[in-house]
Amino acid sequence: MAVQSGDTIKIHYHGRLTDGTTFDSSAGRSPLEFTVGSGQVIKGFDDGVQGMSVGDKKTIEIPFIHAYGPEDPSMIIEFPLERLPQDLKPEIGMQLNMNNNEGQQFPVVITDITDENIILNANHPLAGKDLIFDLELVEILD
């Protein structure tokens, strides 16, 4: 039986960037369970598992456009240093949470610090990156 859209599956995965850096893995954890074609995972992952059978292993390459999309320049934010809490010492690479106009929190990363501002990137950390996944299909659930 091969995976098709609508099937709920369990799969082990190892996700890495094209330079070999691991960004996520199910190693040491339960396999990922999701319904194929439901939008629970990125499109390239959804497409990549289709046709696999239990026990199959394969490697898929997902271009950024089918993963987290391109980096959006409008998601780069300049924020005045004077508006930061007094006890916060900003550092490049530090992750912070901001609130949007509806009060929802979203993560940002400090990418630069000037004399007056910090530069924040609110893009998904994997935006603009091509991804590689090593997959092993564990189960197709009824």
- CATH number for the domain harbouring residue 51: 3.10.50.40
User: What is the C-alpha separation between 73 and 120, in angstroms, rounded?
Assistant: 11
Instruction: Check residue 140 and give its pLDDT.
Output: 97
Instruction: Check residue 76 and give its pLDDT.
Output: 95
Residues 23 and 57 in one domain: yes
3 located within any domain: no
Residue by residue, pLDDT tens for the chain (142 residues) are 999 999 999 999 999 999 999 999 999 999 999 999 999 999 999 999 999 999 999 999 999 999 999 999 999 999 999 999 889 999 999 999 988 888 888 899 999 999 999 999 999 999 999 999 999 999 999 7
User: What is the C-alpha separation between 93 and 109, in angstroms, rounded?
Assistant: 6
25 located within any domain: yes
53 located within any domain: yes
Residues 35 and 78 in one domain: no
Do residues 53 and 2 touch, judged by C-beta distance below 8 A?
A: yes
Instruction: Check residue 41 and give its pLDDT.
Output: 95
Do residues 47 and 39 touch, judged by C-beta distance below 8 A?
A: no
Helix or strand (DSSP H, E) at 40? none
1 located within any domain: no
Number of domains in the chain: 2
Instruction: Check residue 39 and give its pLDDT.
Output: 93
Residues 63 and 131 in one domain: yes
Residues 36 and 65 in one domain: yes
2 located within any domain: no
Do residues 131 and 17 touch, judged by C-beta distance below 8 A?
A: yes
Residues 56 and 80 in one domain: no
Strands 8-17 and 22-25: antiparallel
Residues 131 and 113 in one domain: no
